[in-house]
Amino acid sequence: MKLPLLGLAFALVSQAALAADAAPALQDKQAFIDHLLGQMNQAEKIGQLRLISIGPEMTAQTIREEIAAGRIGGTFNSRTAAENRPMQDAAMRSRLKIPMFFAYDTVHGERTIFPISLGLASSWDLAAIAQVGRTSAIEASADALDMTFAPMVDIARDPRWGRTSEGFGEDTYLTSRISETMVRAFQGKSPAERDSILAIVKHFALYGAVEGGRDYNTVDMSLPKMYNDYLPPYRAGIDAGAGGVMVALNSINGVPATANTWLMNDLLRKDWGFKGVTISDHGAIQELIRHGVARDGREAAKLAIKAGIDMSMNDSLYGEELPGLLKSGEVSQAELDQAVREVLGAKYEMGLFKDPYVRIGKPEDDVPDTYAESRLHRDAARDVAKRSLVLLENREQTLPLSKSAAIAVVGPLADAPIDMMGSWAADGRPQHSVTVREGLRRALDGRGKLVYAKGANVTGDKAILDYLNFLNFDAPEIVDDPRPPAVLIDEAVKAAQQADVVVAVVGESRGMSHESSSRTTLEIPASQRELIKALKATGKPLVLVLMNGRPLSIGWEREQADAILETWFSGTEGGNAIADVLFGDYNPSGKLPITFPRSVGQIPLYYNHLSIGRPFTPGQPGNYTSQYFEEPNGPLYPFGYGLSYSSFALSDLSLSSKHLQRGETLQAKVTVRNTGKRDGETVVQLYLQDVTGSMSRPVKELKRFEKLMLKAGESRTLAFELGEDDLKFYNAQLQHVAEAGTFNVQVGLDSQDVQQQSFDLR
Ligand code: BGC
């Protein structure tokens, strides 16, 4: 049977789901859901809690049968109207015709891939980030997706963790602002709109703090640190209206998040008033057994539902165990109903009861080619990508390059379309990626000269190569050049010798910064370091273009290079954006959202650490101070750092008052001048320090920032308004308080080099 088109679908839902005489109008969400719940049998209820992955585990036929039998509530990983329509048709054949939803990890783009999240954060540009969320929603919804498992807002202070690439860095305030921006952009005017997708904030909670940066490891954390530093970004996303939360795989102080009643019921629902759906991460309910908190599947299912996991992702335990648990009374009808209610509520929010085909559309409107070039948003991708690039070094004004120069572009990542996209690249296609080599070629457009040589493989370590290639199902991620390293290097050196300048594109392949890609070192692999050494020996100016998904310890590379541009994984248009910056068509404006340590041994190293009793003072002997004696202290590059082709200066920091009365505000004013010869953007950052408190407080915390464009020679005075709320923190009793005392206002163009003024709170 060919199934329903839009109006008809609604009619079917109205007839069946609302069959009884007293069927409430769709406008009344609560009444509608209560009524529907009243019609559901137990199996149908349990079915709604099942979220399955579309993959090889089940055939399309079986999936449709299961849906028609009311045994599946939603899917993820299918991503076209043609794929999703038959599943929605099957749902419309089910007894109550409860619509399915279709989810996916649309994290930094759907088909047009934008920079990875860490790159987006480097832009410090909320308007640009909003554009990423909106464009992603437009593309994903056009391909029949209703929900995204994003934004990922886990604070990461240990760059060994491969998923550092997926988050927005180390800072609570910056990540919180981005979290709410992304949620609003994904969900648009309303998550029910045709071109909106429901945002699922993840991974709740504290996933970024896994011990040792080792993925899936435990998290142990004091409550004040949790409340002050790690929880606010999830809360910001929820307060911005996120429809759901994905629960983290890790344990928190010994209790796995998936079985954590305190986390999901007390904190999330009671304290924060969250009303949306909670979804377990992949297979997490089953994993409660290996966490050692459940003896068997039955206990795991019981713990999860009682703790507040509504939907179970790729995990059969709810289906297998809930009937028995309900029968024995170990799980109550009310507990089951509550979970079902949240799932139905999310479907309601996505507009699916009104029109199950709202994003699937009509078959005759299906696009003939999902991956058509015309469906991409290249201009937006290029614009955002160039804003995300961070200039780390530029000696002797090596950059920008001249378009009449002879350029050698070398390195294993110079022409690597898959790597441009970064991890979690949704439905991005490598053939759409503009690589750095291609971006330079297009920018030169026949002028100058461009020679290319690979120069090295990403890694010379066979075991690592095999590990990374395991990640891609379609084709090997990393194409290894079988020639001996010396031959590759020799070719690159010859290319360099013919050139005026060398652009070496080095760093990590995208799989090195991914789920399950934790590292013990932050160095660029040896094969690439050998290449850099040989290039340096040619005496040609050396520009390093870094691609990586975490801070790298690049102290040695810094000595070799004349210029360094951090590009993260910059997306579909990355090569063009990088060329825009290398040739000066765009003046770089990105700032680091995460500290670059000198070595892995310094980790964790983050700018907003607590005050301590024996701090190290630069320039003074380190003995009996908190430091490492083998290398200089402090970061290689601090949080908030990034250069421009222009220069900027701050002056005249002043406060409107030396005292802040509770309930009132004061203004911090500062003048910023473009002291260079080019127009450009910079990011003015305002930090606060609570000098003395009932607990040790951070040495500084970001509280405001503003990215602004200034013409050469132009200056502007910015005013930042600060109030009591900005001074609040969670004390040892977890009270959210602003304590009387002195506060330092520090304003800078990075977190280290700041001007300071003080005021008192009375
Ligand atoms: C990841 C989640 C992701 C899910 C579905 C899991 O492995 O931890 O972040 O949303 O898979 O793809």
Pick the range with the lowest mean pLDDT from 6-10, 419-423, 747-751: 6-10
**Under 8 Å CB-to-CB from 67, ≥6 apart: which residues?**
87, 90, 91, 94, 100
DSSP-derived secondary structure for 51-63: EEE-STTS-HHHH
Residue 281: helix, strand or coil by DSSP?
A: coil
As a whole number, mean pLDDT of residues 116-130 equals 98
Q: Is residue 730 part of a domain?
A: yes
How far is ligand 1, taken at its centre, from the CA of residue 153, in Å? 13
Q: Is residue 112 part of a domain?
A: no
As a whole number, mean pLDDT of residues 96-103 equals 98
For residues 308 and 254, state if they share a domain: yes
Identify the pLDDT of residue 9: 43
DSSP-derived secondary structure for 382-428: HHHHHHT-EEEEEGGG--SPPTTSEEEEESTTTT-HHHHH-SS-TT-
Is it the case that residue 25 has pLDDT exceeding 90? no
For residues 322 and 294, state if they share a domain: yes
Whole-angstrom Cα distance, residue 149 to residue 20?
35
Residue nearest to atom 10 of ligand 1 (CA): 149
Domain extent, residue 16, equals 1-39
Q: Using a 6 Å cutoff on CB, does residue 149 contact ligand 1?
A: yes
Residue that terminates a domain, selected from 602, 634, 667: 602
Whole-angstrom Cα distance, residue 70 to residue 59?
17
Q: Is residue 148 part of a domain?
A: no
Is it the case that residue 18 has pLDDT exceeding 60? no
For residues 721 and 742, state if they share a domain: yes
Q: Is residue 552 part of a domain?
A: yes
Q: Is residue 528 part of a domain?
A: yes
Residue nearest to atom 8 of ligand 1 (CA): 281
Q: Is residue 571 part of a domain?
A: yes
Query: For the chain, what is the mean pLDDT?
Result: 96
Rounded alpha-carbon distances, angstroms, from residue 602 to 143, 555, 619, 626, 631: 45, 13, 19, 11, 10
Q: Which residues does the annotation mark as catalytic?
A: 281
Identify the pLDDT of residue 361: 98
Question: Which amino acid, one-letter code, is at 7?
Answer: G
Identify the pLDDT of residue 8: 42
Is it the case that residue 383 has pLDDT exceeding 80? yes
Residue 708's domain is classified under what CATH number?
2.60.40.10
pLDDT band at 476 (very low <50, low <70, confident <90, very high): confident
For residues 396 and 268, state if they share a domain: no
Q: Is residue 512 part of a domain?
A: yes
Q: Using a 6 Å cutoff on CB, does residue 299 contact ligand 1?
A: no
For residues 388 and 512, state if they share a domain: yes
Residue 271's domain is classified under what CATH number?
3.20.20.300
Identify the pLDDT of residue 474: 66
Domain count, the chain: 5
Contact 718, 706 (CB under 8 A): yes
| 709-719: pLDDT as tens digits | 999 999 999 99
As a whole number, mean pLDDT of residues 660-678 equals 98
Q: Which of 732, 226, 635, 56 is nearest to 392 (CA)?
A: 635
Is it the case that residue 49 has pLDDT exceeding 90? yes
Burial (0-12, 13-18, 19+ Cβ within 10 Å), 125: buried
Mutate to test the pocket of ligand 1, among 57, 203, 282 (most ligand atoms within 8 A of CB): 282
Residue nearest to atom 4 of ligand 1 (CA): 282
Identify the pLDDT of residue 7: 40
Identify the pLDDT of residue 472: 65
Identify the pLDDT of residue 475: 74
The residue count of the chain comes to 762
The residue whose two tokens read 């990355």 is: 574
Helices (H) and strands (E) in the chain, counts: 23, 26
For residues 515 and 572, state if they share a domain: yes
Which atom of ligand 1 sits closest to the CA of residue 152?
Answer: 9
As a whole number, mean pLDDT of residues 65-84 equals 98
As a whole number, mean pLDDT of residues 392-411 equals 98
For residues 689 and 719, state if they share a domain: yes
Q: How many CA atoms lie within 13 A of 75 on its CB side?
A: 28
For residues 380 and 340, state if they share a domain: no
Pick the range with the lowest mean pLDDT from 7-11, 141-145, 182-186: 7-11
For residues 337 and 396, state if they share a domain: no
For residues 393 and 513, state if they share a domain: yes
Percent of the chain with pLDDT over 70: 97
Is it the case that residue 5 has pLDDT exceeding 80? no
Rounded alpha-carbon distances, angstroms, from residue 730 to 225, 402, 721: 8, 53, 22
pLDDT band at 24 (very low <50, low <70, confident <90, very high): confident
As a whole number, mean pLDDT of residues 430-446 equals 98
Q: Using a 6 Å cutoff on CB, does residue 281 contact ligand 1?
A: yes
Is it the case that residue 4 has pLDDT exceeding 90? no
For residues 328 and 394, state if they share a domain: no
Question: Which amino acid, one-letter code, is at 252?
Answer: I
Q: Using a 6 Å cutoff on CB, does residue 282 contact ligand 1?
A: yes
Identify the pLDDT of residue 442: 98
For residues 504 and 424, state if they share a domain: yes
How far is ligand 1, taken at its centre, from the CA of residue 55, in Å? 14
Is it the case that residue 29 has pLDDT exceeding 70? yes
pLDDT band at 16 (very low <50, low <70, confident <90, very high): very low
